């Protein structure tokens, strides 16, 4: 069915159609002016898009529509559009009301295959260039059932088409009543096989793709592209490689972050160990205090927290130096801790706050 061709061309011509002032609902019209537009095949009357010219010469609201979204109803809500016709009926170009489909040999309007009653579905005549197997050629209904080498009928209709620059060019649309896969030869008037892509042609209708350019059948613009068989394994291999690559990349990246985390944990553990040792030293020092002789004077006991020598000095009646170097943790009573009696270099030493005792 190439019914849409008219709709597309009609849409292009909408502007020029609107320039002609049309009679609105209730106005006067003449059915004698009903005609098909020469360039587009569009049905035109004196009345506007929403009305038709009735038998009494008055423009009346249309009572049916043939398109889901009809022309000229921009401001009308979808629910308020005139109704579509049920199956077995059709809406004529006028829009004057649904009518029963007609049989073969009876009249129909241009490119309105759906005005013809379809052949039984089991004949499988339905195809892209007809409507459910019936076709309207030269205003007469047919079935698309003529077989190879048999006499056929065709209709060539020239339309004006428009390109992007606004220029127009002629476009001939040829239809016939040959069965699917066949076309009606214009000179012999017999049905021939359609031509495949790449074969020589003189018109679109000869090609399966309905697209003849430079005397050769070409792929239709809307046809899906089919890649060669070799493309599938190549794509599969690429996908597999990509997946492996992503896996390896992630593994390497995780390895790096795992290494970083391991170093952090090691540092944390050694800090914890150092902290624990410091606490142990503190508790050792406390036990040492408890172990001081009973008659230790209070001020000596205080000083001896920091230096054994300090205690000794005090016993000798001297003053406690009570100085430790930075080397040993505070409070650790280690033999290497020593008092400082030579006070020549005060910069190097830490003086602890018990200077009262010195005085
Ligand atoms: C024709 O249709 C218009 C809107 O589409 C509506 O306002 C008007 O009443 C209709 N006329 C008749 C006679 O139904
Ligand atoms: C064509 O056949 C389909 C399926 O039976 C049906 O829905 C559709 O209305 C038919 N079209 C016409 C124009 O009769
Ligand atoms: C083909 O269709 C026509 C109507 O267009 C019909 O009269 C004729 O019997 C059909 N031929 C076959 C072989 O079905």
pLDDT tens per residue, range 127-137? 988 999 999 99
Going by C-beta distance under 8 Å and a sequence separation of 6 or more, which residues neighbour residue 173?
Answer: 2, 5, 156, 157, 158, 159
Mutate which of 23, 26, 61 to test ligand 1's pocket (most atoms within 8 Å of Cβ)?
Answer: 61
CA of 61 to the centre of ligand 1 (A): 6
The residue nearest atom 11 of ligand 1, judged by CA position, is 61
- pLDDT-derived band at 40 (thresholds 50, 70, 90) equals confident
pLDDT tens per residue, range 224-241? 888 889 999 999 999 999
Q: What is the DSSP letter of 204?
A: G
The residue nearest atom 4 of ligand 2, judged by CA position, is 132
* Residue 54 clears pLDDT 70, i.e. is over it: yes
Does 133 contact ligand 2 (Cβ within 6 A)?
no
Which ligand is nearest the CA of 26, by number? 1
Q: Which of 145, 136, 225 is nearest to 178 (CA)?
A: 145
pTM over 0.85: no
The residue nearest atom 7 of ligand 2, judged by CA position, is 87
Does 143 contact ligand 3 (Cβ within 6 A)?
yes
Convert 169-178 to b/e letters by CB count within 10 Å (16 or more is b).
eeeebbbbbb
Does 114 contact ligand 2 (Cβ within 6 A)?
yes
- Which ligand 3 atom sits closest to the C-alpha of 143? 5
d(CA 6, CA 12) in angstroms, rounded, equals: 10
pLDDT tens per residue, range 17-33? 444 578 899 999 999 99
């Amino acid at each position: 069915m190439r019914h849409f061709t008219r709709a597309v061309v009609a849409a292009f011509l909408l502007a020029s159609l609107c320039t002609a002032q049309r009679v609105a609902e209730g106005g006067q019209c003449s059915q004698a002016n009903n005609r098909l537009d020469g360039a587009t095949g569009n049905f035109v009357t004196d009345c506007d898009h929403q009305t038709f010219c009735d038998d009494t010469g008055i423009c009346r609201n249309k009572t049916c529509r043939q398109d889901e979204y009809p022309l000229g109803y921009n401001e009308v809500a979808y629910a308020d559009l005139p109704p579509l016709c049920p199956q077995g009926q059709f809406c004529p170009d006028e829009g004057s009301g649904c009518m029963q489909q007609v049989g073969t040999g009876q009249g129909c309007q241009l490119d309105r295959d759906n005005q013809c009653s379809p052949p039984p579905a089991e004949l499988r005549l339905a195809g892209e260039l007809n409507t459910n197997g019936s076709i309207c050629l030269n205003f007469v209904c047919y079935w698309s059932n003529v077989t190879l080498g048999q006499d056929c009928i065709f209709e060539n209709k020239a339309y004006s088409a428009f390109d992007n620059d606004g220029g127009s060019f002629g476009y001939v649309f040829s239809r016939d009543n040959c069965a699917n896969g066949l076309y009606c030869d214009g000179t012999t008037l017999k049905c021939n096989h359609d031509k495949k892509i790449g074969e020589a042609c003189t018109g679109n209708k000869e090609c399966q793709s309905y697209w003849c350019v430079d005397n050769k059948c070409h792929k239709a613009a809307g046809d899906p592209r089919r890649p060669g068989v070799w493309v599938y394994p190549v794509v599969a291999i690429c996908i597999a490689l990509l997946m492996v690559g992503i896996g390896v990349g992630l593994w390497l990246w995780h390895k790096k972050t795992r290494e970083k985390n391991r170093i952090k944990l090691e540092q944390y553990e050694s800090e914890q160990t150092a902290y624990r040792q410091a606490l142990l030293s503190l508790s050792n020092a406390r036990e040492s205090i408890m172990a001081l002789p009973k008659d230790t004077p209070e001020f000596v006991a205080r000083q001896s927290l920091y230096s054994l020598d300090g205690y000794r000095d005090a016993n000798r009646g001297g003053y406690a130096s009570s100085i430790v170097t930075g080397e040993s943790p505070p409070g650790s009573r280690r033999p290497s801790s020593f008092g400082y009696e030579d006070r020549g270099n005060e910069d190097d030493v830490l003086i602890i706050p018990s200077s009262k005792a010195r005085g």
